[in-house]
Chain A
């Protein structure tokens, strides 16, 4: 009987996560983006009002990430970490799913718009 309970629990967690995932992957309406490293906000900018540019963020281990703002989108275009996940994630789209570079403890995410 116990294994049936484990099965039901696993199926429940799976279904709840699947629903949450759909919700999390919605596109954001926000335009303010902030760059956070080690829990500290390094930079905040408005995508509508920012000219296309590149920001180089150095990391504690000597590495770096290159953040590119172009045509109202933001992405990490270059990083010198081995896994390159942050580069492959592409542009920032969702409110809840920030671009994360785990090796460099860097987060690029949407923030509340300031009027």
Chain B
């Protein structure tokens, strides 16, 4: 990997981390476990469309691990990691079908997959299906959040293309 590429990836990772930390400071209007705006996903969606899958995976891994450290909530790592893996795999697959003008749709689908991954992890860790009831709520809030971050990434790409 060239130094230039490495620097770009490092820059994107730190941008994602900064957004993640800023988001921690925003009070959450929905007191439901797992509901988040997921601003850092803007970087992930952007990277899915502009970088190789392995490079995107690197950005996401760095953000997950450092994010868990910065938030001081390492137990949340399992849930967010399960969500992120589902989200990333799904978006890399959708990347093949979707043109760059539909990045927002990729983001919405990714957010839904993230929620499904989260709940799957919660079912396994909590050893009970009780938490599945959260899935519809998470899917609704998640797809709206995914739409927002997706549109952010869309505008970002449109500007960069000019």
Contact = CB atoms under 8 A, between A and B. Distances in A.
Do A and B originate from a single complex? yes
A24 B143 contact: no
B43 interface: no
A18 B136 CA distance: 7
Interface stretch (A1-9, A48-56, A64-72): A1-9
Chain A, interface SS category: mixed
A18 to B, nearest CB: 5
- Chain B interface, >50% SS class: helix
A58 interface: no
Interface in A71-115: 81-83, 85-86, 88-90, 96-98, 100-103, 105, 107, 109
A17 B73 CA distance: 29
A14 B139 contact: yes
A16 B31 CA distance: 22
A102 B76 contact: yes
Nearest to A63: B75
A21 B136 contact: yes
Interface string B109-150: 100100000000010011110110111110110010000000
A103 B143 CA distance: 25
B32 A89 contact: yes
Contacts of B137: 17, 21, 24-25, 97
A102 B33 contact: yes
B76 A105 contact: no
Contacts of A38: 126-127
A48 B42 CA distance: 48
Contact of A14 (B71, B76, B130, B143): B143
A102 to B, nearest CB: 5
B22 interface: no
A10 B136 contact: no
22 contacts: A3-B97, A6-B97, A6-B105, A10-B108, A10-B112, A13-B112, A16-B136, A17-B136, A17-B139, A18-B136, A21-B137, A36-B130, A39-B127, A81-B75, A82-B71, A83-B33, A96-B133, A98-B131, A100-B33, A101-B33, A102-B75, A107-B126
Interface of A: 2-3, 6-7, 10, 13-14, 16-18, 20-21, 24-25, 36, 38-39, 61, 81-83, 85-86, 88-90, 96-98, 100-103, 105, 107, 109
Interface of B: 28, 31-34, 71-73, 75-76, 79, 94, 97-99, 102, 105, 108-109, 112, 122, 125-128, 130-131, 133-137, 139-140, 143
